[in-house]
Amino acid sequence: MSAETPADTPPEIGGAPLDDGAFKAELAALIPHLRAYGRSLSGNRDVADDLVQDTMLKAWAARERFAAGTNMRAWTFIILRNSFLSQRRRARFTTEWDDVVADRILSMPAGQGDQLHLADVQRALMQLPESQREALILVGAGGFSYEEAAEICGVALGTIKSRVARGRAALGALIEDVVTNESRGERTADPMAAIMADVDRVSGGLPGRGGDDA
């Protein structure tokens, strides 16, 4: 593999490549999405920014392999994820949860819920297995389809559906536990109903079962 073709980039996509100006503009527009995904994987803002920078450089070096009209967001997410996995083999990342990711997963409109609920979600998300947390973030916060999320993670469609389903169930149970322990029945509203309704909405509803990977 040549120096111009980074090992962490996905296989070549057929079709005509974008011109450099269009590629650069489309790539720059993805920076906020890449940063959010990087934070969700690493749990650390500085590490996430390093991952994004590395992803941008690798994507630019491999720009001739990307075809106009295809999904650049999924393509760059694959590059970032591969970079993260490569770095994780060499170093252990510290956890510094960013509330932006939790907020985007829930997509809670102004006035719905309070900071306590958001803090509950943050704590619960960090207790999920990494594979389930990543699946929820891709399908919920990232807005990817199950097919796209499966491609990014390099797993079968049934596996990603299973991860989202199990992650949603585990997240709901964890939050309910926290709320029950903290409120002891003092809240009249059911925060779980609103929270899980939002997760259902952004993840496309309850997915079908499939795959056996947690």
Average pLDDT over residues 178-186: 58
What's the pTM? 0.60
More confident residue, 208 or 56: 56
More confident residue, 210 or 46: 46
Residue 61 clears pLDDT 90, i.e. is over it: yes
Give the lowest-confidence range in 36-45, 102-111, 123-132.
Answer: 102-111
* Measured distance CA(103)–CA(122) in Å, rounded: 9
Structure tokens at 173: 């149970």
Domains assigned to the chain: 20-88 (1.10.1740.10), 99-202 (1.10.10.10)
More confident residue, 184 or 191: 184
Phi and psi torsions of 154, nearest 5°: 70, 35
36 with 101: CB under 8 angstroms? Answer: yes
Residue 94 clears pLDDT 60, i.e. is over it: no
Strand partners, 17: 67
Q: Which residues of 90-111 are buried (b: 16+ CB within 10 A; e: fewer)?
A: eeeeeeebbeebbebbbebeee
Average pLDDT, the chain: 73
Percentage of residues in the chain with pLDDT exceeding 70? 59
DSSP readout, 88-124?
Answer: HTT-PPPP---HHHHHHHHTPPTTSS-HHHHHHHHHH
112 burial class (0-12, 13-18, 19+ CB within 10 angstroms)? middle
Q: Classify 67 as helix, strand or coil.
A: strand
More confident residue, 43 or 31: 31
Structure tokens at 94: 């510290």
